[in-house]
């Protein structure tokens, strides 16, 4: 396979190894006149050991390390700033090769350790209650930039080599950047890389249907979370504009047919907006929509922000909504908002710093 420059990425001056799957890195090695196992070794250094400096790759001959340092690169998002919330949630502002910035979040003890990563700079989906949606889409992230967030956070938190979870719930819509995202997931799950089990990865999507249908055919099966947020087309058209193209019923049909791992369920995320989608009727319609689907519901009481016209319902109202679901046999949880004091919570990722270098 020729090494192509991914759409949206800055033109690399050197051959960049950071976004290559193992087989492609082996081929790149062959392309440089090396045995393919050298590619595998480099892949292991990058993704298993978190090393992005050829000089540190001690099982490569010294001369080769020097040559690679001249001919190739292992790009990595640069840590710009880090903010720690009172609850331990840490928001990393990362700077990309072209000076753009993205956010990635470490959420401790949920009960596991979780990294929330971005797939785009901004987002094109324009959901009415989401700050990232207000930015619009600036560009897709490359595979290297998606996996790089995990490498940087694992190193910075000291969690490299320990089990952790990944949620694709940062900036962007993963199925709108399908190829780079799936390549990143294949790298993260590769047993010669971070060897993350697919069940530790959750892909969250508004339900871009062609992407979802394609995801259903993949051998790699991350957990699936659907950002539902509404129970009628009118309501969802207004809150989640992609619904104007892919209607609720079609979305639910695809979910119903979606292949799941044994004992797995689809998570339906439902942001609760006061007086908009939080009535008992909404709750009852939600129960009906989910009939026949292996589902659980995660309620997200709105994280309010300037520029967002909606409000967070009272706790009593959230509990009443949850109780209607639970009483009808639907598994439901209320997401505890983490990192709200540093604006690291759901839908609050927005890069405000100027895009200067
Ligand atoms: N684009 C994907 C990935 C983002 S996940 C998706 O939409 O699923 C982020 C989750 O937080 C989504 O469920 C999103 O709808 C939700 N969210 C966005 N803004 C929010 C807010 N202000 N308060 C609470 N949840 C929000």
Domain boundaries, the chain: 15-73, 78-342
Residue 60 and residue 54 in contact, taking contact as beta carbons nearer than 8 Å: yes
Is there a catalytic annotation at residue 346?
A: yes
Is there a catalytic annotation at residue 309?
A: no
Q: Enter the pTM of the model.
A: 0.94
Query: Catalytic: which of 123, 127, 130, 346?
Result: 346
pLDDT score of 14:
79
**Ligand 1 neighbour 239 (Cβ under 6 A):** no
Query: Catalytic: which of 103, 145, 173, 269?
Result: 103
Segment-wise mean pLDDT, segments of 10 residues, the chain, 357 residues: 46 81 97 96 97 97 96 96 94 96 94 96 97 95 98 96 96 98 98 96 98 97 98 98 98 97 94 98 98 96 94 97 98 88 77 46
Task: Give the class (CATH, top level) of 78-342.
Answer: alpha beta
Its CATH architecture, for the domain 15-73, is Orthogonal Bundle (1.10)
Helix ranges (H only) for the chain are 22-31, 36-47, 62-71, 131-135, 143-157, 178-189, 209-215, 233-239, 248-257, 280-289, 315-327
pLDDT score of 2:
42
Span from the CA of 37 to the centroid of ligand 1 (angstroms): 42
pLDDT score of 344:
78
Q: Which of 115, 124, 130 to mutate to test the pocket of ligand 1 (most atoms within 8 A of CB)?
A: 130
Pairing of strands 137-140, 120-122: antiparallel
pLDDT score of 3:
44
For atom 20 of ligand 1, the residue with the nearest CA is 347
């Amino acid at each position: 396979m020729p090494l192509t420059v991914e759409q949206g990425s800055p033109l690399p001056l050197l051959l960049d190894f950071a976004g290559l799957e193992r087989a492609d890195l082996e081929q790149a090695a062959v392309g440089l006149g090396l045995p393919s196992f050298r590619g595998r070794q480099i892949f292991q250094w990058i993704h298993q050991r978190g090393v992005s400096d050829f000089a540190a790759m001690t099982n490569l001959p010294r001369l080769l390390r020097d040559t690679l340092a001249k001919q190739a690169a292992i790009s990595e998002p640069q840590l710009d700033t880090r903010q720690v919330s009172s609850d331990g949630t840490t928001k990393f502002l990362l700077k990309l090769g072209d000076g753009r910035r993205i956010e990635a979040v470490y959420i401790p003890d949920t009960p596991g350790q979780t990294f929330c990563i971005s797939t785009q700079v901004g987002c094109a989906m324009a959901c009415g209650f989401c700050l990232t949606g207000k930015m619009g889409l600036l560009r897709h992230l490359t595979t290297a930039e998606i996996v790089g967030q995990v490498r940087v956070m694992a190193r910075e938190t000291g969690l490299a080599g320990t089990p952790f979870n990944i949620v694709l719930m940062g900036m962007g819509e993963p199925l709108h950047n399908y190829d780079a995202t799936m390549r990143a997931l294949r790298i993260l799950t590769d047993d010669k890389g971070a060897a993350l089990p697919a069940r530790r990865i959750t892909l969250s999507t508004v339900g871009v249907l062609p992407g979802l249908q394609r995801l259903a055919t993949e051998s790699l099966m991350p957990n699936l979370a659907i950002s539902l947020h509404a129970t009628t087309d009118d309501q969802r058209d207004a809150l989640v504009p992609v619904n104007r193209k892919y209607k609720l019923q079609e979305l639910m049909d695809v979910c119903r047919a979606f292949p799941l791992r044994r004992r797995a369920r689809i998570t339906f995320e439902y942001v609760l907006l006061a007086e908009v989608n939080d009535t008992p009727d909404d709750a009852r319609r939600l129960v009906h929509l989910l009939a026949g689907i292996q589902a659980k519901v995660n309620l997200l009481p709105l994280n309010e922000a300037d520029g967002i016209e909606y409000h967070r319902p009272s706790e009593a109202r959230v509990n009443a909504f949850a109780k209607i679901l639970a009483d009808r046999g639907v598994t439901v949880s209320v997401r505890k908002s983490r990192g709200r004091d540093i604006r690291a919570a759901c839908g609050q990722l927005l890069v405000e710093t100027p895009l200067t270098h």
